[in-house]
Amino acid sequence: MASVAKTDPHHAGDAPHAHPPTSTGLNHRKIAVWAFIGSECMLFVSLISTYLIYKGKSLAGPYPHEWWCRATNTIAKSAAELGQCAPAETFKPILNIPVTSASTFVLLMSSLAMVLALAAVENADLPMPSGAWDRILRSSKTWLWMTAILGTTFLGFQAYEFTSFVHEGLTIRTNLFGSSFFTLTGFHGAHVTVGVLWLLALLGIDYKRGLKPADALNVDIAALYWHFVDVVWIAIFTLIYLIQ
């Protein structure tokens, strides 16, 4: 093994000004972002667990999937079951699955756009193809904008959802459901917001000097984060909205 040491380029060749290659061949930032995502998993696991532990524990409505009569504090599977409850005292199920399905679709499509943005940056140096669709596929600006706009649309859905919930009588202070729901989805929304700002920063660079294959790593890391936030939403949508 001693001879290895003698012939090793970092020992004999000695270019001290050059950074030694990384042990794994991966960029530092890529490893760090994976570690970060691992940590974020535990954050969302804690938030989602709390929501699920508190599910059905609220002493007052409104409730996620049930009808509620404030005057009698009764819960029912349908409005009819509430019987005599005065309309002003009747609260409908809060979660709006059709609308949230649409926003989930929007967020999933943003991940597709993100994949295309990364591909466009990776191929930026190849000769430009002739077909119109092929040219669109090669435009990183298009796909970064698309991702950011779809992400913002998702946030718009969330803003609409939050305000309508408040109008229907549910705030973060109302009950355990309100506290855990708004905190969980609010944290997710904050993550999407950070992602959108990140995408806008990449777009800023793209307009300034154009993103080149050398920048692919930067886009790749943003994409990792974006897909992670997307995957978290799939868990939230399934566990909080779909399962009653």
d(CA 37, CA 46): 14
From 6-14, 94-102, 120-128, 233-241, span contacting other proteins (CB under 8 A):
6-14
Tokens of 207: 């307009």
Least CB distance from residue 219 to other proteins, whole Å? 15
For 14: left if phi > 0, alpha if psi spans -120 to 50, otherwise beta; the answer is left
Q: Quick check: 4 binds other proteins (CB under 8 A)?
A: yes
Rg of the chain taking only CA atoms, in angstroms: 25
Q: What does DSSP say about strands 74-76 and 67-69: parallel, antiparallel, or unpaired?
A: antiparallel
User: For residues 5 and 214, which CB has a smaller minimum distance to other proteins in the complex?
Assistant: 5
d(CA 216, CA 121): 6
Q: Quick check: 58 binds other proteins (CB under 8 A)?
A: yes
Q: Quick check: 80 binds other proteins (CB under 8 A)?
A: no
Own/partner long-range contacts of 24-29 (Cβ < 8 Å, ≥24 apart): 27/217, 29/217, 29/221
Q: Quick check: 16 binds other proteins (CB under 8 A)?
A: yes
d(CA 164, CA 234): 22
d(CA 77, CA 21): 63
Q: Quick check: 242 binds other proteins (CB under 8 A)?
A: no
Site for other proteins in 27-56 (CB under 8 A): 28, 31-32, 35-36, 38-40, 42-43, 45-47, 50, 53-54
d(CA 214, CA 127): 16
Question: Which residue in 116, 175, 188, 198 binds other proteins (CB under 8 A)?
Answer: 175
Least CB distance from residue 193 to other proteins, whole Å? 13
Least CB distance from residue 106 to other proteins, whole Å? 27
* Residues at the contact surface with other proteins, assessed by CB under 8 A: 1-2, 4-5, 8, 10-11, 14, 16-17, 19-20, 22-24, 26, 28, 31-32, 35-36, 38-40, 42-43, 45-47, 50, 53-54, 57-60, 172-173, 175-176, 178-180, 183
